[in-house]
Structure 1
Amino acid sequence: MELNSLTLDETKEFVLSLGQKSYRGEQLFSSLNRHKILDIQKIHQLPKEFRDTLETQSRINKIKILNRFDSKVDDTKKFLYLLEDNNIIESVYMKYDHGNSICISTQVGCRMGCSFCASTKEGRIRNLTAAEMLNQIYIMENDLNLTIDNIVLMGSGEPLDNYENTLKFLNIIHDPKGHNTSYRNITLSTCGIIPRIYDLGREGVPITLSISLHSPFDQYRSQIMPISKKYKINELMEACKFYTRTNNRRLTFEYTLIEGINDREEDINELVKILKGINAHINLIPLNPIKEYNMNRPSKNNVEIFYKKLKKIGIPVTIRKEKGADISASCGQLRRDYLDKTQPN
């Protein structure tokens, strides 16, 4: 039994099964998720005899900081974490005016195959447990001596491809007896697994949903994102409308600008069509090239032109400010750089 992957209700049920009172479950849950104690014997609220029982009947998942990289150009910090099975994941700390933010991983690797993304090049190795997602936050907070205000599930992995563990993570991190993070301070980025978008909408968890769009045309989007061969854009937009209706939340569409592929006038015109009737915001991201994807980012001037045309039409739009450029802060880059340097040829 992995204690720090249990929701509050599951923790209570577990301690009851061990012959303890329900309030011991609350103490255990808060020790793990509010006080961030990762050693059963250091949870001194619990009687010694009960701690000994917990050590024989359960375990706490632990991850370690393998390395930390601090940007010299801004306050961004990137963490490489070593998991118990020696897999490696990464998280990024970013400081904004609206608070301290973290971008966490939800899988080791990814199987979505998006052409410009470094995290998907070796495929999905495995899903992360809820505890491994939570640990990225708690260990970062302890290391930097601060509180994370905003959480983005946009690191390595596709959160909706690890749906059950992601839901447990959301439940635990939001719980008032634990970290007590507002759902409105959590963003989940997905390439668009349509059945899971509907499932998430029905859960009534009002997080911000961020859709990786990258092209308004199926023909081009499928070249960038293989998932578009299975789920067409018109189907994706219907799922998005359902999510906004059920959760009353504005959607974000991530749009990586690639020179000559999706930065044309016809792309702007089609974006207007497909986003009609959706409470949406577009986040423009100039392409961050990787060696496996031989395409170029548009010039800064062309990015500005694209931005201004969308804004003039009335579509809410921003250009993502690049963070941690000197420490490979984009998704999956640092992990791959580390593996490339440490693995034998």
Structure 2
Amino acid sequence: MTNLESTAEHILIVDDQPELTDILSVTLAKRGYAVDCVYDGEQALVWLRSNTPDLILLDVAMPRLDGYEVCRTIKADNRLKDIPVIFISAMQDIGVKQQAFKVGGVDYITKPYQREEVLARVRTHLDLRRRQVELEHIHQLKDDVLRMVSHDLKNPLSAILNAQKLLNMTLREPLRTNGTARESLEIIERNVGKMLSLIRDLIDMARIEGNIDMHLEPVQVNSYLLKHLNEFKLEAKGKNIDLRLVSPPDGVQVWLSPLRFGQVLTNLLSNAIKYTPDGGIVELAAGIEGNDFVLAVRDNGLGIPDEALPHLFEKFYRVPTEAHLEQTGTGLGLSIVKSIVDQHNGRVYVDTEYGKGTTFTVSIPCLEPVPVE
């Protein structure tokens, strides 16, 4: 039986008992759903080659091809894999139900079923699927906006910054005596730099939230930490800061995303150097504690006031003190840190004493650290 309303949500029923299938089809059609019925697994796969329903009601025991194999085939197809499959069967054995969920089913209804129960479960899973599609659309829209931001804002800002640098070079002598012009160019450079940093952080945050570039691989801890620490040598030297590394024994590896976890190190080290006074100390320490890889960035800088701690990892939050306001930043750095650590199934926490210093500690599961032979 078929009811094809172009605006109605489309349900496929796959069952080898036509009398039950027709009754269920009529029930669903009366509620406004478009319904198609087929009577064995092979027919279902043929029908699905040219159709994409919103939901599938699937019997388990059918001739030629059972419901499990039909569901496996559906979930292996990129076009069909997100369609919710609800199994309907007279079999009540717990093993049968477990197998139904194992192959990709989202629900299991036992025959003989109550009409209202079927309608409620169908409605629930269609609502969930609809919200999933809406979220995918929102994510796609966000990605489109970010691409636009990256191209239509970042490129012109980079051009302005390059023009400013060119003016600095070509007008070097006049700028020495014209303080107003020199200050104006410095303002341009400073504010364009802020905008570029904000754009980079927004793009990074979107990519992190979308799990883009999140690829775990074994990383040799000592060389990895040393590489990132060396990137801050010049910045630390400019403030006469003692930059220290305390690392685990040679040869220890951990599984992490080198690209994304590198952002954790970059943001924590950058903040530590930024808020540590001239002549201070910044230490990067790492080790294995039980089943966790633990990393700490310590400084003897400004510290963080207690009232700021609950908001520290919120997006765009900046510590509201005079000393911190003197420093530039987007307010996204620590939020990015927490998002990346969360994706490693880890946690990040802070120990601070205002006016004396701060320690940020990151702990992630080791996933079997292995020594390099």
TM-score range, shorter chain: under 0.3
Q: TM-score, normalised by structure 1?
A: 0.25
Structure (1/2) with the larger helix percentage: 2
- The TM-score, its normalising length taken from structure 2, stands at 0.23
